[in-house]
Amino acid sequence: MIHEGTHCSLPTITWSAYILKNRKYPKSTPLLLFDPTSFSQWIDEIKLTKKTKGGVFVRMENSKDKLARARKEDLVAKTMKRFDARHKGASRGKGRRGPVIAGVSSDEEDKSSDGDFEDLDVHWAKDLCMRVAGVSLVSPPASIKYLTRKAPKTQLGPTDNATTNTLLELSRWLVNQNQAVHPVNERTSRPSLVIGEDAADTMADYLEFISIAPHKRDNILTTLLQNDIDRYKMFRLLSIKDLKGLGFNIGVIAKLRSNVTRFRSHLAQQE
């Protein structure tokens, strides 16, 4: 079996050789042995490098996998023929006799003796049935040409960022849900997601606690509140990229993200 599989016109068994600790024929990309010349190359490399460890891989396709693939190819071929027959049958019915008569099953269409049915040109399915070399479920025949389209340009949102900030959108959604549950006729500031907590004051205290320079606090606080970031705990969820998108430098970002636990302990001690 090994001899026949190796020397038949389309070999079903492949041989490949490798040399351990060798860059030319490593185990990850072994040399394919298919004739005396390739075998000599392997032996010569062993002599040249004086390596004593290596091996040979003998591989054969699993016959069960081959049968399973053939069954799938047959199924695809039959499905394509049935689809094409139904489509062309409907076109002939509309062109000659008006609409297709209701109640005619797909099986009856498949059994049609019309000459057009015999001449169906379903390239891929036909080549699959005929076992054309190189044609498979993932490899179409050369007669089928592919046309490519350019991907549509993604429209940018109202912000300057190329992508929408998911966490900020989630925060806005939560704020809207909170407003729907607890509507207020007149509001001077955005509501906090934590009942009873003054968002602006707490955020200002947090900026002071993490030693943000006094001349920067107002601008940072305004930017955060305008983007619905009104809780210091949200900095645990926001990434460096998210905060960079708001215009903050890495020093400010590091302080905002690394002091959440300390500030929470600080508030607990004050209570």
> Is 203 found in the same domain as 237?
yes
> Is 228 found in the same domain as 240?
yes
Name the pTM for this structure.
0.29
Q: Which of 74, 78, 7, 1 is nearest to 36 (CA)?
A: 7
> Is 264 found in the same domain as 171?
yes
> Is 113 found in the same domain as 52?
no
Q: Which domain holds residue 6?
A: 2-60
Residue 93 lies in a domain: yes
Q: State the total domains in the chain.
A: 3
> Is 256 found in the same domain as 174?
yes
Which residues does 233 contact at the CB level (< 8 Å), separation at least 6? 260, 264
> One digit per residue, pLDDT tens: the chain, 271 residues?
677 666 676 667 888 899 998 888 888 888 888 788 888 888 888 889 888 888 988 888 777 777 787 788 888 888 878 777 777 766 665 555 544 444 444 454 444 444 444 443 466 777 777 777 877 766 777 776 666 666 666 655 554 454 445 666 666 666 666 666 555 444 444 444 443 346 667 888 899 899 888 888 889 989 998 888 888 888 888 888 888 888 888 888 888 988 998 888 888 888 7
Residue 202 lies in a domain: yes
> Is 170 found in the same domain as 257?
yes
What's the distance, Cα to Cα, between the start and end of the chain in Å?
83
Check if the beta carbon of residue 34 is closer than 8 Å to that of residue 41: no
> Is 32 found in the same domain as 70?
no
> Is 68 found in the same domain as 42?
no
Check if the beta carbon of residue 53 is closer than 8 Å to that of residue 26: no
**CA separation for the pair 38, 222 (Å, rounded):** 72
Angle subtended at Cα 214 by Cα 205 and Cα 192, rounded to the nearest 5 degrees: 30
> Is 252 found in the same domain as 208?
yes
> Is 170 found in the same domain as 99?
no
Residue 200 lies in a domain: yes
> Is 96 found in the same domain as 113?
yes
Sheet holding 13-19, edge to edge: 31-33, 13-19, 54-60
Check if the beta carbon of residue 263 is closer than 8 Å to that of residue 210: yes
> Is 15 found in the same domain as 53?
yes
Q: How far is CA 260 from CA 220, 224, 233, in A?
A: 17, 15, 6
